[in-house]
Amino acid sequence: MSFLHLIWLIPLLPLAGFVINGLLGKRMPRPVVSGIACLAVLASLVLAVGAIRDLHDQQGLADMLNNGSALSAIGARPGADGFGAVLAPTDPDHGLVLDPSIPRARQIQWTWLSVGNLSVKWGYSLDPLSAIMLLVVLGVGFLIHVYSIGYMAHDEGFARFFAYLNLFMAMMLVLILADSFLVMFVGWEGVGLCSYLLIGFNYRDMFNSARDQSCADAGRKAFIVNRIGDFGFMLGMLLILVTFGSLDFGQVFRGVHVLAQVPGSQGLLTAMALLLFVGATGKSAQIPLFVWLPDAMAGPTPVSALIHAATMVTAGVYMVCRCAALFTAAPLALTVVAVVGGLTALLAAAIACTQTDIKKVLAYSTVSQLGYMFLAAGVGAFSFAIFHVMTHAFFKALLFLGAGSVIHALSGEQDIRRMGRLTRVLPWTFGTFAVAAVAIAGIPPFAGFFSKDSILAAVFYEQPILWVAGAFTAGLTAFYIWRLVFLTFLGSDRVEKERRGHLHESPWSMVAPLVMLAFLATVGGFLGVPAFLAESVPGLHAAAEWLPGYLEPVFREAHVVGAGMGALGFHDPAHGAQVAAGSAAGHGGVTAAGEWGLMALSVLLALAGIAWAWLLHGRAGELAARLAAALGGGYRLARDRFRIDELYDRILLKPFYFMCRAADAFDRFVIDLLVNLVAIATEITGHVLKLFQTGSVRAYALSVFIGVVALVTFLVMS
């Protein structure tokens, strides 16, 4: 019995926390509620760490395989543990299936759906890709749970909040561990539901009174925009099901390999990949479906940190990486992913430079960073995308939690124009926020530097035009995040008088997660030091591209397909392995000198962005206002978020409302008219017939008599 047999418990523990807190939370004291919620996540984290350790225990895996316990599912009979499924011990379709070559452990729990030829099993699979996501989601999730104890301390809906948060964790873990598209879709929809519930958590409050938008409206908007993406995901799943007859990841990707050899199958594969990508654009807030994420900031700040920065929004990236085999078999779809990612990164960064709400800046920053991840996936550098998912989870969760700490201290103030000079009151918040700001700006050796630089280097070889957009975005990123730091913590004190009274540093339960995340945001990047850098810096050799190397087996098959088709010269991770082995200096004619140059350029851009932010906002002066005036229309366009909401209103909602009104008129004047005509005819007939109902016995008798006479006459005559 190893931890691998307990994978099924990982999503179940937070679910149990949700059930307990959801049903009984109101009657339990707050420490018990938060204790249950945090312990459920912590226990899952421990199980996950144990399972991942066992996954890499080659000797243990070999023993299990030799004993036959893996295939015959000894000890992996979840039926005994309340799963309701009784499995035949020799059934290879159930229980634990090990594949030490990747290494991957699949645990099939029960047959969920069995219709005709389709049989969907509820199964989880643990491999390096899901392992990294598990650790990120559970680690950051646990820290944010702890943080929420302090942040939500004064809130009425304490138990409700933790119940939703635990449900979210459960669903996210299902999504990550899923072994088939349909199970993933359950988690996918589940996190969407939790996102909706938590955005609208303060459903009575107004979120944007200028546009008459309540927090509940913001939640609805997020849910509906996500539904549009989910529709694409569902169509993609249906197409996959029709084509391959299965939704199981393994079988589908084997099918993709076969199909990719068939001439003329490109269209089909591209359609599948693009439909799935539509789902990813919804969940991960990419063009054209990114409009919900900024409004999702209506939720409490820990929610923004957990769901709308660190975990849920990266589900789209995770899904694309999970389907790497499919996407590499459809180069056109991959190009679309890269272009959409690059454009989103640039557009959102430009908007982030002009916003004045601290959480809005971070929201657009998240959209922009997600764009980077898709950019990486779009050039086939899937492991760099996951690397950035990880580092981004660290520093962006930290930024959001820091922003939450500021908002908490200022009793709800979110406008950075009414902040400033908070360093002395909030020393811990400022320190950790600054670490995160350095990390996202891409200054070595903080986490964001390594992941962003790896992505930009990979993009440079595959899509030079998009590299320009990505590099420019890197500069913008450094600018907007340091603009935020200068305006929030430094500069002149613009805090309103009545809010100054309760200025205070946050309690330990909020500061401790900040410090933990700051540590992770500082060192997280060393998991993926570029090979050429590791070569030349003593002591770093062991760290050379550890993470890409770790993920490599998962993406290996995908790269075999892609390389076989000659569509993409894969930069990662074969390239990394090459360099690490010292067998070749570079890839596609690029030398180590080129790599150094690229890296120096991106650091320079980051420093330029920070300097520019200091010039505009770090010191007193009218430069920022003058520049805004000089940019005129462009600045106003960015400040108004490029009026994309208004554009959608114009080109989508207005015609839709018109269609609704037309349908309403058709219903009213055509369908209702027909129905009413029948009713009117019945009524008129009734009015005529009632005249016979005189109530006079003699009249009735006469009519009976006449009837009899007529009948008899008729019978006699015939």
Partner 1 sequence: MPLVAYIGLSAILFVIGVMGVLLKRNALTIFMSIELMLNAVNVALAAFARHHGGLDGQIFVFFVMTVAAAEAAVGLAIFIAIFRLKKTTDVTEINLMRW
Confirm if 62 and 2 have CB atoms less than 8 A apart: no
Minimum Å distance from CB 711 to partner 1? 15
CA distances from 412 to 44, 57, 304, 398 (A): 33, 49, 15, 18
Minimum Å distance from CB 713 to partner 1? 15
Kindly tell me which of 492 and 693 has the beta carbon lying closer to partner 1: 693
Question: What interhelical angle do 382-409 and 546-565 show, nearest 10?
Answer: 130
Instruction: Kindly state the tokens that stand for 187.
Output: 């988690």
Integer Cα distance of 23 and 8 in angstroms: 23
Instruction: Kindly state the tokens that stand for 127.
Output: 């491999």
344, exposed or middle or buried, with CB in 10 Å at 0-12, 13-18, 19+?
buried
Integer Cα distance of 98 and 106 in angstroms: 6
The four Cα atoms 415, 418, 424, 430 give a dihedral, to 10 degrees, of: 20
Kindly tell me which of 154 and 690 has the beta carbon lying closer to partner 1: 690
Kindly tell me which of 674 and 715 has the beta carbon lying closer to partner 1: 715
Confirm if 713 and 705 have CB atoms less than 8 A apart: no
Kindly tell me which of 115 and 697 has the beta carbon lying closer to partner 1: 697
Kindly tell me which of 669 and 692 has the beta carbon lying closer to partner 1: 692
SS3 content of the chain, % helix, strand, coil (to 5): 75, 5, 20
User: Applying CB under 8 A, which residues contact partner 1?
Assistant: 690-691, 693-698, 701-702, 705
Q: Kindly report the number of other CB atoms within 10 A of residue 76's CB atom.
A: 25
Kindly tell me which of 652 and 702 has the beta carbon lying closer to partner 1: 702
Bridge partners for 96 per DSSP: 107
Minimum Å distance from CB 707 to partner 1? 13
Q: Which helix (H) or strand (E) holds 114?
A: strand 104-115
Integer Cα distance of 361 and 404 in angstroms: 13
Minimum Å distance from CB 695 to partner 1? 3
Q: 584 CB contacts (<8 Å, ≥6 apart)?
A: 578
Minimum Å distance from CB 690 to partner 1? 4
Minimum Å distance from CB 691 to partner 1? 8
Kindly tell me which of 671 and 701 has the beta carbon lying closer to partner 1: 701
Integer Cα distance of 226 and 495 in angstroms: 37
CA distances from 6 to 30, 46, 54, 106, 325 (A): 30, 11, 11, 11, 28
Q: Kindly report the number of other CB atoms within 10 A of residue 690's CB atom.
A: 9
Bridge partners for 124 per DSSP: 107, 178
Minimum Å distance from CB 687 to partner 1? 9
Kindly tell me which of 692 and 714 has the beta carbon lying closer to partner 1: 692
Kindly tell me which of 114 and 703 has the beta carbon lying closer to partner 1: 703
Minimum Å distance from CB 697 to partner 1? 5
Kindly tell me which of 209 and 696 has the beta carbon lying closer to partner 1: 696
The side-by-side arrangement of strands in the sheet containing 104-115 is 95-99, 104-115, 118-126
DSSP labels, 229-250? HHHHHHHHHHHHHHHHS--BHH
Confirm if 364 and 352 have CB atoms less than 8 A apart: yes
Q: Is 584 helix (H, G, I), strand (E, B) or coil?
A: coil
Kindly tell me which of 659 and 699 has the beta carbon lying closer to partner 1: 699
Instruction: Kindly state the tokens that stand for 316.
Output: 């789209």
Integer Cα distance of 501 and 68 in angstroms: 68
Q: Which helix (H) or strand (E) holds 124?
A: strand 118-126
Instruction: Kindly state the tokens that stand for 96.
Output: 């634990």
Confirm if 44 and 50 have CB atoms less than 8 A apart: no
Minimum Å distance from CB 689 to partner 1? 9
User: CA 172: distance to chain centroid?
Assistant: 9
Minimum Å distance from CB 683 to partner 1? 14
Confirm if 549 and 580 have CB atoms less than 8 A apart: yes
Q: Which of 561, 557, 571 is nearest to 102 (CA)?
A: 557
Kindly tell me which of 631 and 708 has the beta carbon lying closer to partner 1: 708
Q: Which of 392, 353, 266, 273 is nearest to 321 (CA)?
A: 273
Integer Cα distance of 606 and 448 in angstroms: 11
Kindly tell me which of 657 and 705 has the beta carbon lying closer to partner 1: 705
Integer Cα distance of 140 and 302 in angstroms: 11
Kindly tell me which of 498 and 683 has the beta carbon lying closer to partner 1: 683
Minimum Å distance from CB 678 to partner 1? 22
Minimum Å distance from CB 679 to partner 1? 19
Confirm if 532 and 595 have CB atoms less than 8 A apart: yes
Minimum Å distance from CB 652 to partner 1? 57
Minimum Å distance from CB 696 to partner 1? 5
Kindly tell me which of 238 and 706 has the beta carbon lying closer to partner 1: 706
Minimum Å distance from CB 684 to partner 1? 15
Minimum Å distance from CB 693 to partner 1? 5
Backbone angles phi, psi at 101, to 5 degrees: -70, -30
Kindly tell me which of 90 and 694 has the beta carbon lying closer to partner 1: 694
